[in-house]
Amino acid sequence: MTALGATAYGLLVAEGLLARKAIGRPHGMDGPPSDGTYGMFPGRAIKLAMLGDSTSVGLGMTDPAQTPGVVLANGLAAVSERPVRLLVAGRSGASSAELGEQVDRALAMEPDVAVIFVGANDIITQTPPAIAVRHLTRSVRRLREAGVEVIVGTCPDLGTVRPIAQPLRWVTRRWSRQLAAAQTVAVVDAGGRTVAFADTLGPEFATNPTEMFGPDRFHPSDRGYAQAAYAVLPSVCAALGLWPEPRPARGEELQPIYLAAATAAEEPGTEVTATRVDGRATGLHGKWAALFRRRLGEQLNDA
């Protein structure tokens, strides 16, 4: 058994090295400059900070308008009818351990809302989930203590990345789901909200890889980035009070946080946020959480 385990581990390491070589860094390490104010509307600007890894900066895009931050800023401006000031504090290659420096930069802006895309590099560097989540929790708490609304797009499904061969692709899919569930528990406990990227975006990335992935077959295309931005936009609007909070459609959508996290990891487009049952934030099995299955089109129709 020991020999088989060592052989399997060696295979995974070898496949990981081959995948990294195949992907390379054709886009460098910087996304297009996209800080600025968006939306030709009067009034005080909503301050939006983007934190996280290469998906937060839109690596691979040359037009700032195609980055997730700008897509979010324009969408938020259209809904609120106010200008949106965007700061991209994320950095390509960043893991959860590097969020602290990004939070420092974001807090200097005094943002109203922060969106965090992180997790992929924790999987790539084989960071233990407990360590990755600890750094994420600390960052979310700091932002919430400063009065900032926080929405986290959980770890994406790296099992959709074609340069990663089997069985490593199956393993990374499992690791991605496990980290996403752990992130959900931690973020909600710290006062933030999560949107499950793994299943929100995973199926479409797997079905349409030529459209959803960029030339390196690892980072999203302009369509992929737009999908990520639209996935979190409803939650951003709800957090800022621009859309009413939906009520769970069924009683089972009020669950203990650990069960809610596991459910969200398996259901597309699911947001998890803290709630109360009979006036209580906790029950016999821990904190209560509500699951919302948001759809951007439905929210726009209701607005």
103 pLDDT higher than 90: yes
94 pLDDT higher than 70: yes
Domains of the chain: 2-247 (3.40.50.1110)
Q: Tell me how far apart the alpha carbons of residues 79 and 232 are, in angstroms, rounded to a whole number.
A: 14
Q: What's the pTM?
A: 0.72
122 pLDDT higher than 80: yes
* Active site (catalytic) residues: 54, 216, 219
pLDDT tens per residue across span 132-148? 999 999 999 999 999 99
298 pLDDT higher than 50: no
Q: Which residue has the higher pLDDT, 257 or 196?
A: 196
Nearest to 171 by CA among 3, 1, 2, 14: 14
Give the strand pairing for 113-117 and 46-52: parallel
pLDDT tens per residue across span 67-85? 999 999 999 999 999 999 9
Q: Tell me how far apart the alpha carbons of residues 107 and 42 are, in angstroms, rounded to a whole number.
A: 24
Residue type, 227: Q
131 pLDDT higher than 80: yes
Query: CA torsion angle for 250, 191, 45, 68 (degrees, to 10)?
Result: -70
Q: How confident is the model at residue 16 (pLDDT cuts 50, 70, 90)?
A: very low
| Side-chain half-sphere CA neighbours of 298 within 13 A | 10
Q: What percent of the chain has pLDDT over 70?
A: 59
